[in-house]
Amino acid sequence: MEPFEACKKCFIHVGFHADYHLNEKKINEHVASLIKTNPVNKIVLTGHSLGAALASINAIYLAIAGVQIPLEVYNFGSPRFAN
């Protein structure tokens, strides 16, 4: 676990956090492109196992970035990735 800059006393699993950052730029570019070119009334993130952890982390970062569109997360079999 490593400190998570989003809040005090929060920790995130180093491996899951690193995996998220490997694709962060692509994810953010695609989300921004979809929002600009389509009428979007919510963003739904989902995944299973590792994908579930990454979907949750992505939702946290989208919220931190100030995305004004409602976010919904549906996960299946997510490992514990943070405290």
Domain residues of the chain, as ranges? 2-76
Q: List the pLDDT tens digit at each of the 83 positions of the chain.
A: 999 988 889 999 999 999 999 999 998 899 889 889 989 899 999 999 999 999 999 999 999 988 889 999 999 999 999 99
Which distant-in-sequence residues (6+ apart) come within 8 Å of 38 by Cβ?
A: none
Q: What is the pLDDT of residue 78?
A: 93
CA dist., res. 70 & res. 35, Å (int): 12
42 CB burial (10 A radius; 0-12, 13-18, 19+): exposed
Dihedral sign, Cα of residue 74, residue 48, residue 1, residue 12: negative
CA dist., res. 66 & res. 43, Å (int): 13
